Amino acid sequence: MAALPYRLIRNLMLAAGVLYCSLLLEAAAGFPLDVQHSFLSELGARDQPTSLYARVTDLATGVLLLVAVLLARPAARFRWEVTGLLTSTAVFGLGTLFDSFSPMDCAPSASAACRAAEANGQVGVALVLHEVTSTLAGLGSIAMGVFAVLVLRRSGWGGARGRAVGVLALGVVVTQIWLGLQTGYDVVTGNDLHAPGILQRVAVLLVCVMLGTLLPGLRHALPR
């Protein structure tokens, strides 16, 4: 991978990691939601003052990742695991981008009326669309973690930096699957959905760090 494209793609990924880290927005807004019982996506709900900022950062994250994937396409020649990594990154980027266009109407953790509407199935299409796009992004992040480990394994891990990225990638896979199973169980069983706030914030933080460190950790495995 030539020097200029590498630096450009690295910077795009780093910027995407920072923008996707909605914990920064949450902190800047003074923690408007209960971190233990809310989803970070509630920052983008239409009834929240942080809605515009959260949606713009999701949109920018998705665009940056898709541009990075397009620029990195030559690295995937004859390498199925690199192709898988780029494809899953694109899926994650698309899910995040679509998230910006399908926010929830209200934040359940901040409104009793919103929680009641959600419990009675009166939240409408907005929540369904948001759940679909969020699931797409979540599956994309899991696949990114899996393919990152496969790329590292095939290329010999690449020293301490590569192993650190591998650990991050595994952390993303574990936390995202754990998060999906916990929320999915409530949905399938018809129980009230209890947002695992701390777990989700850890999962998002790991994704942010992985995005920012992925390319440096994989540089030895990419053609130059």
> What pLDDT does 112 receive?
81
Q: What's the pLDDT score for residue 116?
A: 77
1-19: pLDDT as tens digits: 555 588 999 999 999 999 9
Please state, rounded to an integer, the average pLDDT across all residues of the chain. Answer: 89
Q: Greater confidence, 174 or 157?
A: 174
Q: What is the structure's pLDDT at 123?
A: 60
* pTM as predicted: 0.91
Q: What is the mean pLDDT of residues 40-58?
A: 95
Contacts 24+ apart (CB under 8 A), 189-196: 192/119, 193/108, 193/118, 194/37, 195/37, 195/38, 195/39, 195/108, 195/109
The residue among 180 and 67 whose pLDDT is bigger is 67
Spatial CA neighbour of 222 closest among 165, 154, 146, 172: 154
pLDDT at position 122, please? 56
